């Protein structure tokens, strides 16, 4: 991954070592938010964990924990020998498709709480 691509990704991730939230959770939250809002497009390749850890100034295990959680939840997919990518079909979309519901983003909301109440 190029230095430009890493620098662009770093604008999406802000970590605060003094915060009460663990660093891996901060990275997870920032990446998940970037994926859900479209700032990280489906199919986008992420930098290697070593590169991202070095750029953020954190341990590689910290980044690996965040990536592992995103992989487990279906936001990222790993391709052996090729890298880690944002999945093309987001898990939130799959859940709503199975239930026959539209994702809240399709209704113009940025968060579920921004949707109007259902019912009379």
Q: How does pLDDT run across 2-51, given as a tens digit for each residue?
A: 666 667 777 888 899 999 999 999 999 999 999 988 899 999 999 999 99
84 shares its domain with 61: yes
How many CA atoms are closer than 13 Å to the CA of 35, on its beta-carbon side? 28
> pLDDT > 70: what percent of the chain?
71
11 shares its domain with 59: yes
Count of domains forming the chain: 2
Q: What is the CATH number of the domain that holds 25?
A: 1.10.10.10
The phi and psi torsions of 46 (rounded to 5 degrees) equal -95, 155
The phi and psi torsions of 79 (rounded to 5 degrees) equal -120, 115
Gap between the Cα atoms of 105 and 112, Å rounded: 8
55 shares its domain with 42: yes
Q: Which residue has the higher pLDDT, 96 or 104?
A: 96
Burial pattern 91-110, b for ≥16 Cβ within 10 A else e, equals ebbeebeeeeeebbbeeeee
Over the stretch 75-86, which tens digit does the pLDDT of each residue have?
Answer: 999 988 889 999
27 shares its domain with 79: yes
- At residue 71, does pLDDT exceed 80? yes
81 shares its domain with 95: no
Query: Counting Cβ atoms within 10 Å, is residue 68 exposed (0-12), middle (13-18) or buried (19+)?
Result: middle
78 shares its domain with 30: yes
| Alpha-carbon distance values, 101 to 38, 60, 73, 119 (Å) | 20, 39, 20, 15
Report the chain's mean pLDDT, rounded to a whole number: 80
Per-residue pLDDT, 46? 94
Identify the bridge partners of residue 77 per DSSP, sorted by sequence position: 85
14 shares its domain with 54: yes
79 shares its domain with 42: yes
26 shares its domain with 43: yes
97 shares its domain with 80: no
84 shares its domain with 101: no
The answer to whether the pTM exceeds 0.75 is: no
Q: Which domain holds residue 93?
A: 89-120
- At residue 90, does pLDDT exceed 50? yes
Least Cα distance to 76 among 47, 51, 111 occurs for: 47
- At residue 69, does pLDDT exceed 50? yes
15 shares its domain with 45: yes
């Amino acid at each position: 991954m190029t230095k430009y691509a890493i620098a662009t990704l770093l604008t999406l991730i802000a970590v605060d070592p003094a915060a009460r939230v663990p660093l891996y959770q901060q990275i997870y939250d920032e990446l998940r938010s970037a994926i859900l809002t479209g700032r990280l497009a489906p199919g986008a390749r992420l930098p290697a964990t070593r590169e991202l850890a070095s750029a953020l100034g954190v341990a590689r295990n910290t980044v690996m924990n965040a990536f592992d959680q995103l992989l487990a939840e279906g936001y990222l997919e790993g391709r052996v020998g090729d890298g880690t990518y944002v999945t093309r079909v987001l898990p939130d979309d799959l859940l709503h498709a199975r239930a026959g519901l539209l994702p809240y983003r399709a209704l113009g909301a940025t968060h579920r709480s921004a949707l109007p109440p259902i019912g009379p």
